[in-house]
Chains A and B, each alone.
Chain A
Amino acid sequence: MSDSDAAARPYPDIWARESATPTVEKYHGAIRALVAERFAASGKTWEQAVEDGSLEPTREDFEKIEAALLAEGYKFDVSATISLKEEPDKYKPLAGIANTGENESDEQGRPIVGHGDNVFKAPADVTGTARYISDVDRVMEMLTGGVPENTVAIIDDSGGTLTAPILGDFKAVVCMGGTVRSHLGILTREYNVPCLMNATLDGLADGDEVTVEYSKPAADAYADAESASGHRARIIKIS
């Protein structure tokens, strides 16, 4: 830590190091500086100041800390679609699926548009229509109108709640996050819906016909990245 950082602390910490992420470092650093300033101005012992609450930051303090970061032009990464919907100016837009145009081909010359970790070994590979499902509106549409037949759901959410009411109606699932131990992995296994987790995709578009290698052995959750990569199932675009 620099001397200036140490001076912005309410009490010494000789083994402190910077936090690993920018928002934690910014926020906690600002709060430490605020508490240090209030403590110095209080004229109280630390224990008196803690007990009477005079060091406690308020909601307004926290609002100012976030506002200061946003004023620098910072945009936050988004996780839940509701966050982007309610405060679009605060967040970066969601990234789409990559399309480098540099796909490898399978034994029949068809483009390989992705790889993933198989949750369980299915009796056979699955062919179906890739349908991208990433927000509440798409799920609501399928919940009220029905899931189209032969849907291979392309989901960028390893949680189990976004697609909870329609999960059992998918022919198969490809998830662009998580691991085979994620909630979505657990649920697809219970529903016996073939599923790839931790998928990387390149050049897959909504509506593409794909064959996915769900008959490959289940991925080993404890395998290191190098050995796991050799066992990943392929997603092959057939039309």
Chain B
Amino acid sequence: MPIKRSYVDVLDVNTYIQKLADSFYFQCTTRTVQESKLFPVNPYIALSYYNAWYRYPELVRKIDAAMPAEEIADRARQVGSYVNTITMDVATQFYLGGHQWLLDMGILKPTDAVEDMMDVLDFTRRLNLAYHRSEAHIMPSDGNHKDQIHTARQTEAFEDAAIGVTSGDKLHTAFTRFMAAVSAYGFLSHCECRLSFCNHGPYKTKDGNEMLVRDALDLSECDYPWMDGVAGEIEHNNLTITVTMKDTHFNMVDDWGSFEAEPSYNNDNLVSLGVYASDFLSDGYIPVHMDSASELADYLDDQRAKMESATATMWKMMAGWSREQMIDAGLLVYYGTLKDVAHFAGVYEQDDWMLVDERTQRFKPLMNDEYGNSAIAELVGLITLTSQNRSPHRMARYSGERSEMWTPIPYSVLADDEWTAGVGPIEAGSTSLPAKTAKWTTTQGKLTQDECNAAAKAFHSKAFDLRHYDDDVWAKNHPDAPQAAELAAATSNSGS
């Protein structure tokens, strides 16, 4: 029996799969191989792909039923959160990675789990479409590596509120020290992963400089159980930091929210900055101690000292972990890239996002360091898995080789080919890590899981309600419309 999807549905999903493959190939081959002497990085990355494969289908259906993907993204692009450019790109890549390995092992055929594939890909595609609405791209590489998700309403507010600095003054010094500390802290809390950071922009400012909007995420007690207690002194879970630079052109803000600049990013060129808190419960960005440069400098110094202390404490804890604990923590960071989508929808459950499915657990005996490194290298860099080979006539976009990273859905499922629907419901899971006990740090205070979900369901964002007017094309021609005034008020409310 043919699948109950249209030809165009499958065309859309397969085109998205190939777009993801091209994006991931570029990103993976222009970065270095991830490694760490502390964490077995590639073994945990590999296992996270299986967890995504087995768990995302049911979870995205649950989330989509509570709040459609495009509405979640409309909310998310008005705050700094873990629903952002990098997580929405890599989550789907991880899912497809699990698929490709199971194909390569002969455990699945391309005609298997077709309904799952359609649902997960459709969900994340709608997320990306709405999140990147302001630039009308699905991912930054579509726009020559620019990631301008904000409307003029927001970027003007950022620019107007920014506090000027000069190299070596009190705020400049505090800021540069803070950024170093938060960077080390973020890599450690995320087990060597860059997911704690995401950059958006650049935006041209009135004086001809360029502004980058930098998010530092999951800094306080949050979903990760290992941050309970150790991160308790960090006031905000998410901080958005705007930096305006002179004599600097950000020539790349890529699909992973990383940037490059020409000449290289140099804090000496920093001319102004702003710091904001936000999350799935905030109505936009909330300024943090921005009443004066001195007050903000003192705050950044205070938080830097607390992060340095937390870094040392967390490092000692992690250095005492077993290999399996390190693997579980890392794989849950990677697998958890979609977790904030559940927070926005008010259906977050710790057991959905912070457990390793038993179907994933069984792969652990394979995951020595060498196999983990090789499996990742072949899958996303070399593109040399047996199953990745296409016809000898094929030439891939970047490499010119005959292999492609991801396998699409065969169109025969629209005719008379046999197929299977999916992996079924989430199965039991477990973890070698201690269970979470602390509350979640939010902009509405420290909340339990149930309180987070209830608050998310009850929350109404003014800017979200007016989102179809929050559009630069509309704004250009309606300066005196009441909706424009309401949006401006919503922005200044969040900025007061």
Contacts and interface: CB of A to CB of B under 8 A. Distances in A.
A23 B374 contact: yes
**Band of interface residues on A:** 35 or more
Contact of A158 (B32, B179, B188, B365): B32
B345 to A, nearest CB: 29
A76 B371 contact: yes
Given A24-B374, A31-B107, A187-B184, A161 B31 contact: no
Nearest to B104: A28
Contacts of A165: 184, 188, 308, 311-312, 315
B378 A162 contact: no
Contact of B35 (A50, A65, A158, A164): A158
B384 interface: yes
B473 to A, nearest CB: 36
B459 interface: no
Contacts of B323: 80, 82-83, 86
Interface in A13-36: 13, 15-24, 27-28, 31-32, 35-36
Contacts of A16: 386-387, 389
A107 interface: no
Contacts of B363: 62
Interface stretch (A145-153, A177-185, A199-207, A226-234): A177-185
A140 B187 contact: no
Given A77-B373, A79-B37, A165-B311, A47 B419 contact: yes
Interface in B84-112: 104-109, 112
**Band of interface residues on B:** 35 or more
Interface stretch (B39-47, B144-152, B221-229, B334-342): B39-47
Contact of A83 (B40, B316, B418): B40
A77 B361 contact: no
A139 B319 contact: yes
Contacts, number: 236
Contacts of B191: 161
B314 to A, nearest CB: 8
A208 interface: no
Nearest to A14: B391
B369 A76 contact: yes
Contacts of A139: 315, 319
Nearest to A31: B105
A41 B378 CA distance: 31
B38 A161 contact: yes
Contact of A162 (B38, B361, B387, B402): B38
Interface of A: 1, 9-11, 13, 15-24, 27-28, 31-32, 35-36, 45-47, 50-51, 55-59, 62-63, 65-66, 76-83, 86-87, 90-91, 120, 134-136, 139-140, 143, 156-162, 164-165, 167-168, 177-179, 181-183, 186-187, 189-192, 218, 221-222
14 contacts: A13-B389, A15-B390, A16-B386, A19-B385, A19-B386, A21-B384, A24-B375, A24-B378, A46-B418, A47-B420, A77-B369, A140-B316, A161-B315, A168-B181
Given A136-B319, A222-B30, 8 more contacts: A19-B384, A24-B374, A31-B106, A46-B418, A80-B41, A80-B326, A83-B368, A168-B181
